[in-house]
Structure 1
């Protein structure tokens, strides 16, 4: 029931609220009608019988209405309504009886009452009953006033009846039309709301599909970059770290080629489920492409990111994929981790750094987790602004080389770290260790002068191609001379010389080769042995040790080989050498 209110303004300080609900409308009808009656018929104001009967009728009316309010719309409710309608007729009849019968101005009150009835009771059955009650009530009123039924044949009586009936019927018809239109509007509104709901669901589904990888049911490449951009911005705004994991499924190509694409798709879908089960709800798992996945870890630093990455790696390594036992190598994942803003200043740089960390894992045996580390960052922290600018120029050159031979950048960083560790073991000075780090970055700069096809050739090199490779140290020297880092020229130029004099470019031997160049040669070769190259698979640690021992005194300084083996394989420990230098 609507309990809206209006306010009748008497003066600036006083307001009388007027209730316009059904209950209030009846009060307004009675009060206004009675007030008009008293103005026009002041002589009746002292008639005790009139007031007694009026008070009784009003009390009965509102008592009936009170019970109506507390009742459901059943037979009792409708009976009470018609009863209160008869009481309303009696109140109007009382006013007409005391104000002139057919000549009374209050005949119009019947019209007003019937309009009210026509609005709330417009159905045919209700119209007939209301009309009968109204007509009988008016006849009874006039009979009480005239004392006979002579009025029943007068033109005035029937004119008034037809007027009231016309008002009533028109109200009913208008009400029915309004109700029908209202019903249509409600139906149309419900239909529109239903269509809007269906459209929203369809749009939500289309949006979900546009952001979902069809095979794995995780987010796709497009959504990954859109979300990463938002999360990088949030990381800046709220000053918290953001971790990015780049994952590659090891041995997936072999599995896919062996068992077919449907089986491969099933594996990717299962890996997607494992990834989602090992991260939080607000983290983002996406298929980056092919057999690569990416995970955005929100408000997560390196330590926690590495823990999550290791949990994922173990979960996949222990998962029993269908038909996996038929392969020589199980399906595992390699994971690279980078942190924003610790490792990167932009979205693209963050992806690049995580990808570099992933590549390093792939090149060092797979099924492992690696956080991005930049030796260049450490070097910049140690050197002055002039040298720092030179290192940035060198990094740009290495990045160019890396685009042609993706092995170069990560290899340079690993060699720099391991060479510095060996230098510390040998008791080198800080300046010598610093030069070793520089040399690690610079020793492959000459590759920029060699065709990418030669660098990535899987077969044997011909004589001309071998000569191009032999010229790399010389090209590196020429580039270094341009950036004013002359203290490392000899280390870079001679690091391809062999201890027995069989190396290049000048065929130096033993102590003719600078110590730092002999160290770089040993560490550079060792890392290459453990890395996957286009022309061969990586060696195992045991195989690499055998290679070093066989080359001791020939390619490498035997004393350095002994020191290096003690460092990396101390007391027969064959743990991954990367753990020695992290």
Structure 2
């Protein structure tokens, strides 16, 4: 059903666009037939302006401006036709009414185009949001992202509370990440984060979970791991991570990291307490 609605909207959009092009062509042809004075040029430019306003601002704005134009031009032309030169002005009055009718057509058609364009943009935004909600992987590193992190942390937290096994959360922050990106660029930064993910995968167990929770913060959820063993993991990661080889120049640079650890405790009310404790530990880490 949703697919049929999408097709229907696309057909309407196509029809409106054809109508818009057709109305502009009619305006151009009418200008060609009636062009005798500078006023006709002004009418044609006004017509195009109303079409542009309709596409950009919508039917209501375009028609509102249109009504004001019709009122002022119509009032002047009636006065001109009955007071100044009735014989000549009645002929020009017919031409003017033709332009006023085209103004209305252009405003209406362009306004409908604006409406369908706005709908398509909103639908694209909704689809983009749905895509972001469904994606659970960080595209630069291949690690699970923040959404998956919260789901798994909550799941493992409840399991640890039920079965009383050791659970540790390790946060790893790449210090001066923004400075690195400014200095070396986005391509080198993507390579940098990818290398971090490879080292995390290499130096942790298959049963552990690895995440990228922020652009400069990675997380490892260590299951069935006593608290004292986490220090061994930190030491091993610190040795592996501090040296990084640049993609372009193959030059080695030294990077620094901060670590924050939180161990499951039964006093914790929920998984977010565990995450907040790890963040606090991360902020006080001295490197």
User: What is the deviation of 1:249?
Assistant: 0.5
Residue 252 (1) aligns with residue 180 (2)? no
More strand by share: 2
Residue 360 (1) aligns with residue 279 (2)? no
Instruction: Report the counterpart of residue 104 of structure 2 in structure 1.
Output: none
CA distance in 2, matches of 1:343, 1:291: 30
CA contact (8 A) 2:208 2:222 kept: yes
Pick the aligned partner of 1:347 from 261, 264, 271: 271
CA distance in 1, matches of 2:267, 2:251: 39
CA distance in 1, matches of 2:223, 2:246: 30
Instruction: Report the counterpart of residue 154 of structure 1 in structure 2.
Output: none
Residue 222 (1) aligns with residue 147 (2)? yes
CA contact (8 A) 2:243 2:252 kept: no
CA contact (8 A) 2:243 2:255 kept: no
User: What is the deviation of 1:319?
Assistant: 4.0
CA distance in 1, matches of 2:225, 2:147: 23
CA distance in 2, matches of 1:318, 1:245: 20
Instruction: Report the counterpart of residue 299 of structure 1 in structure 2.
Output: 224
CA contact (8 A) 1:343 1:350 kept: no
CA distance in 1, matches of 2:267, 2:174: 24
User: What is the deviation of 1:317?
Assistant: 1.3
Query: What secondary structure does 1:253 align onto?
Result: helix
Query: What secondary structure does 1:217 align onto?
Result: coil
User: What is the deviation of 1:356?
Assistant: 0.8
TM-score (norm 2): 0.50
| Structure number, greater radius of gyration | 1
CA distance in 1, matches of 2:217, 2:251: 22
Equivalent pairs counted in the alignment come to: 155
User: What is the deviation of 1:321?
Assistant: 3.9
User: What is the deviation of 1:252?
Assistant: 2.0
CA distance in 1, matches of 2:168, 2:268: 11
Pick the aligned partner of 2:260 from 336, 349, 353: 336
> How far does the alpha carbon of each residue in 1:139-164 deviate from its partner, in whole angstroms, 9 at most, with x for none?
xxxxxxxxxxxxxxxxxxxxxxxxxx
TM-score (norm 1): 0.25
CA distance in 2, matches of 1:342, 1:324: 48
Which gives a bigger RCO, structure 1 or 2 (Cα 8 Å, sep 6+)? 2
CA distance in 1, matches of 2:233, 2:244: 17
Structural RMSD (CA): 2.3
Uncovered stretches (5+) of structure 1, i.e. residues with no partner: 1-205, 367-582
> How far does the alpha carbon of each residue in 1:316-356 deviate from its partner, in whole angstroms, 9 at most, with x for none?
013434458586xx212211111001784421111011011
> How far does the alpha carbon of each residue in 1:291-339 deviate from its partner, in whole angstroms, 9 at most, with x for none?
1111110111211112112211111013434458586xx2122111110
